[in-house]
Structure 1
Amino acid sequence: MSLHSDGFGLIQDIDVRLTVELGRKQMRLRDVLALGESSFIELDRLTDEPLDILVNGKMIARGEVVAQGNRFAIRVLELVGASGHTGSGSSMTAEPSVEVHQ
């Protein structure tokens, strides 16, 4: 076993869940069940607002959706630390996913 000088050698291969949140909407179950193929759900976020990037449910950054070839990607605009400190970031590619939170 070899350790990297940055101290993260032991944990680099741990799987984490990356979530990109476009917005939220609180709905009654009957309204969710009534959704169809052409339904629209208005979210609580504007189109030009940054998206939240979460790792294991904790927000770590804000970003924006960009097209990269024929896939979607997320450009990290700012990193969010535990103390609320933000800094500029780089690009991070993620497959889009949709989760319903109640």
Structure 2
Amino acid sequence: MTMPFDGYGLIQEIDVRLTVELGRKNLPLREILSLGENSVVELDRLTDEPLDIMVNGRLIARGEVVAQGNRFAIRILELIGPSGTAGAGPQAAPQGGAEAPIEDRRAPPPTVEQI
């Protein structure tokens, strides 16, 4: 018996790891061992650059930190397409009247209230 395809209904409840990367820094082990309270590690990102938002280690979007009550949240600024380019997310229109590619049919990112 085959069941009709109903979008992503079967996989929507699968847990994935969402991470937000503030920046990176490669350090030799001796510098890591010398870190202590009040140590400062300068990262490779400027304060006005968007943060990388990843699912299971894959870049999917860029965003900015916002405050939601007494918690931090992320506002999505741009979605990253499957080829790693910005702007290839759900807002991209299908071409030539063909069915939209899979990346254009995915659900929109969650709102702050859903986090």
Aligned residue runs from structure 1 range 86-97, under 5 A: 86=87, 87=89, 91-92=111-112
TM superposition score normalised by structure 2: 0.70
Higher helix share: 2
User: Of the two, which has the highest radius of gyration?
Assistant: 2
Q: Are the structure 2 counterparts of residues 4 and 46 from structure 1 closer, same or farther at C-alpha, using a change threshold of 3 Å?
A: same
1:59 is matched with 59
Q: Percent identity?
A: 66
Contact 1:59 1:80 survives alignment (8 Å): yes
Q: Moved runs in structure 1, 4+ residues, more than 2 A?
A: 2-5, 87-94
TM-score, normalised relative to structure 1: 0.79
Q: Residue by residue, what CA displacement relative to the aligned partner does 1:48-80 show, whole Å, maximum 9, x if unpaired? A: 000000000100000000111111000000000
- 5+ long unaligned stretches in structure 1: 95-102
Contact 2:61 2:78 in 1 (8 A): yes
Q: Which has the higher strand share?
A: 1
Gaps in structure 2 of 5+ consecutive residues: 92-107
